[in-house]
Amino acid sequence: MSAPAPFVADALLATAAALALIGLTLLGRVVVGPTTPDRVVAVNVVGTTAVVVIALVGAALGEPGFLDVALVYALLNFLLSVGLSKFTIERGGVL
State the burial class of residue 63 (Cβ atoms within 10 Å of its Cβ: 0-12, 13-18, 19+). Answer: middle
Global confidence as pTM: 0.86
pLDDT at 29 over 90: no
* pLDDT score at 1: 66
CA–CA distance, 72 with 69 (Å, rounded to integer): 5
Task: Tell me the mean pLDDT in the region 62-87.
Answer: 91
Give me the mean pLDDT over the 85-94 stretch: 75
| pLDDT higher than 90, residue 40 | no
pLDDT at 47: 93
Mean pLDDT of 60-82: 93
